[in-house]
């Protein structure tokens, strides 16, 4: 789960990270009110969407010459103008994709006089099984280019979970950023605060870009924080930070039924139980020359409710030209699953070819139920057969 910059900054400030003052705003009036509470004379109005690259982004409605989603303002009138430009409009950045994201909230924060911008991030390094600190002197808006063109400018320091963070980690971060004296101490302090926040919230990522020197102080000017979804049950307070308007509607609906669903680019909708089987199903669709429209794991006990919800979610995607159901009846018997599939197919008024492969307990009863349902369900014997059949069905439609 990701959160907005303003939420991330409030959170990190609680762990002792130095963050400039600021307030969230949902309307132009609130944005001006927020600026009034700040000391000035420089304000920054920032679009709050779950994507980076806002500074260099463009608003669809404003044309190519308009400024992006992070704007400096020197007066309350300029704050108002910036807020009017952004709210309700669609910001397109390198991270949003061409559709962009509608801006519904702003963050109005203290503008600082930047001397230097750094990059500092914490993430889980799966290779070493440790939290890794990634630091670079090349902070600002183009870290992707730095990583690509000059990877030697990016330093990685991993932390042994048995010792936790030690003073030498802070010193190494400061050295990687080319800092000495008091600024080095501040950088070490920030690193410690971010590490504490990372552990304390079960984060999956904390990215500060830029971490800046401004007015002789190290400050967090941008923050992107994501949490490990599997640990969120331990943090009801963090769950309240979820902004469902930022999530894909189909993925959101799926999460309500405890379905693991991820939208993909292909034509064949997949409904499978078990993540491994789902991966294999996607692979074999590709092997037969087409692409899956989604990953969907209905879980071990594929109940009728779940199967129906899964059908509806798959069919809500206009790209889906056919559906492949591949279910192993282990915990759940094949006859029960078949009843669920028939009921769901009737309820959603199935409009695309449907190939079903069942295997496991009571498989013959399951196949009989599908065959006598009166629906145009194409049965398949094994996974290879199922993939061939759904690809042939979809290709036959043209
Ligand atoms: P994004 O990464 O989405 O483009 P940032 O928050 O990093 O958004 O802002 C982009 C740039 O705007 C920063 O690299 C920094 O130069 C500038 N900036 C951001 N916040 C402030 C601030 N409070 N004061 C002055 N400049 C800022
Ligand atoms: Mg940034």
Domain count, the chain: 3
Last residue of a domain, one of 193, 218, 239: 239
Kindly give the distance from the C-alpha atom of residue 394 to the centroid of ligand 1, in angstroms, as a whole number: 48
Q: Are residues 150 and 185 in the same domain?
A: yes
Residues 185 and 214 both lie in one domain? yes
Looking up residue 135, the CATH number of its domain turns out to be 3.30.470.20
In a domain, 8, yes or no: no
Residues 349 and 323 in one domain: yes
- Residue 329's contacts (CB-CB under 8 Å, 6 or more residues apart) are 336, 337, 358, 359, 360, 361, 362, 363, 366
38 CA → ligand 1 middle, Å: 17
Q: What is the pLDDT of residue 185?
A: 97
Residue 132 in contact with residue 122, Cβ under 8 Å?
Answer: yes
Ligand whose nearest atom lies closest to the CA of 121: 2
DSSP 8-state assignment for residue 61: G
Task: Kindly state whether residues 125 and 143 are assigned to the same domain.
Answer: yes
The pLDDT value given to residue 302: 66
Domain presence at residue 267: yes
Same domain (yes/no): 77, 199: no
Please say which residue of 239, 257, 285 terminates a domain.
Answer: 239
The radius of gyration of the chain's CA atoms, rounded to the nearest angstrom, is 26
Do 266 and 210 share a structural domain? no
* Structural domain contains residue 231: yes
Strands 294-297 and 260-263: antiparallel
What per-residue string of b and e applies to 146-175 under the rule 16 or more CB within 10 Å gives b? beeeeeeebbebebeeeeebeeebbbbbbe
Number of Cβ within 10 Å of residue 367's Cβ equals: 20
Residue 1 lies in a domain: no
- Please, which residues have CB less than 5 A from ligand 2, an ion? 209, 222
If we measure between CA atoms, which residue out of 332, 336, 328, 343 comes closest to residue 271?
328
Q: pTM to 2 decimals?
A: 0.83
Measured distance CA(361)–CA(332) in Å, rounded = 8
What local confidence, expressed as pLDDT, does residue 109 receive? 98
Q: Are residues 38 and 60 in the same domain?
A: yes
- Percent of the chain whose predicted confidence (pLDDT) is above 70: 99
Quick one: which atom of ligand 1 is closest to the CA of 112? Answer: 24
pLDDT at residue number 336: 85
Residues of the chain with pLDDT under 50: none
Q: What is the pLDDT of residue 249?
A: 85
| Mutation to probe ligand 1, out of 210, 213, 217, 224 (largest number of atoms < 8 A from CB) | 210
How far away, in angstroms, is 384 Cα from ligand 2 center?
Answer: 46
Range of the domain at 217: 114-239
Q: Please, what's the largest Cα pairwise distance for the chain?
A: 80
pLDDT digits (tens, 9 = 90+) for 81-127: 999 999 999 999 999 989 899 999 999 999 999 999 999 999 999 99
* CATH code of the domain in which 57 resides: 3.30.1490.20
Question: Do 120 and 220 have their domain in common?
Answer: yes
Q: Are residues 119 and 234 in the same domain?
A: yes
Report whether residue 297 contacts ligand 1, using a CB cutoff of 6 Å. Answer: no
Per the structure block, which two tokens stand in for 120? 């500092």
Measured from the Cα of 209, ligand 1's closest atom is 7
Is 209 annotated in a binding site? The answer is: yes
Name the domain boundary from 209, 239, 269.
239
Span 237-277, pLDDT tens digits: 999 999 988 888 888 889 888 899 999 989 999 999 888 99
Q: Are residues 333 and 285 in the same domain?
A: yes
CA distance 21 to 39: 9
- Flag whether 374 is in a domain: yes
CB-ligand 1 contact for 221 (6 Å cutoff):
yes
Residue 270 shares a structural domain with residue 385:
yes
Report the pLDDT value the prediction gives residue 256, as an integer from 0 to 100: 87
User: Looking at the domain assignment, is residue 315 inside a domain?
Assistant: yes
Query: HSE on the CB side for 47, CA within 13 Å?
Result: 34
- Distance, in Å, from the CA atom of 48 to the CA atom of 74, rounded to the nearest integer, reads 20
CATH for 283: 3.40.50.261
Residue 135 included in any domain? yes
Q: Is 379 a member of any domain?
A: yes
Which amino acids are annotated catalytic?
A: 119, 207
Q: Using an 8 Å Cβ cutoff, are 251 and 261 in contact?
A: yes
Ligand 1 atom closest to residue 57's alpha carbon, by position in its atom list: 4
State if residue 339 touches ligand 1 by the CB under 6 angstroms criterion: no
Same domain, 253 and 303: yes
Tell me whether residue 239 is annotated as binding. no
């Amino acid at each position: 789960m990701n959160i907005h910059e303003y939420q991330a900054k409030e959170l990190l400030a609680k762990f002792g990270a130095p963050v400039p003052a600021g307030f969230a705003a949902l309307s132009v009036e609130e944005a001006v009110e927020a600026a009034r509470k700040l000391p000035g004379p420089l304000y920054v109005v920032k679009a709050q969407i779950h994507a980076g690259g806002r500074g260099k982004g463009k608003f669809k409605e404003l044309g190519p010459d308009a400024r992006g989603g992070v704007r400096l303002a020197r007066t309350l009138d300029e704050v108002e103008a910036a807020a009017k430009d952004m709210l309700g409009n669609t910001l397109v950045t390198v991270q949003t994709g061409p559709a962009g994201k509608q801006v519904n909230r702003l963050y109005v924060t203290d503008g600082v006089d930047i001397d230097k911008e750094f990059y500092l991030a914490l993430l889980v390094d799966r290779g070493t099984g440790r939290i890794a600190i990634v630091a670079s002197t090349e902070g600002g808006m183009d870290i992707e280019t730095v990583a690509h063109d000059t990877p030697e400018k990016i330093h990685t320091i991993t932390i042994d979970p048995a010792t936790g963070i030690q003073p030498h980690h802070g010193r190494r971060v400061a050295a990687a950023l080319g800092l000495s004296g008091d600024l080095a101490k501040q950088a070490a302090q920030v690193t410690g605060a971010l590490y504490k926040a990372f552990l304390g919230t079960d984060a999956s990522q904390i990215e500060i870009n830029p971490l800046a020197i401004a007015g002789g102080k190290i400050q967090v000017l941008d923050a992107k924080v994501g949490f490990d979804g599997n640990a969120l049950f331990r943090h009801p307070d963090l769950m309240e930070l979820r902004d469902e308007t930022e999530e894909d509607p189909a993925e959101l609906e799926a999460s309500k039924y405890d379905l693991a669903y991820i939208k993909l680019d292909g034509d064949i909708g997949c409904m499978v139980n078990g993540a491994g089987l789902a991966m294999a199903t996607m692979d074999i669709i590709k092997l037969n020359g087409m692409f899956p429209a989604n990953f969907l794991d209905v879980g071990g006990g594929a109940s009728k409710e779940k199967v129906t919800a899964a059908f509806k979610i798959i069919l809500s995607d206009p790209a889906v030209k056919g559906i492949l159901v591949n279910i192993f009846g282990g915990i759940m018997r094949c006859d029960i699953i078949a009843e669920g599939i028939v009921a769901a197919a009737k309820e959603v008024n199935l409009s695309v070819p449907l190939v079903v492969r069942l295997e496991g307990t009571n498989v013959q009863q399951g196949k009989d139920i599908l065959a006598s349902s009166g629906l145009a369900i194409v049965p398949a014997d094994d996974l290879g057969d199922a993939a061939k059949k759904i690809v042939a069905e979809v290709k036959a439609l043209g």
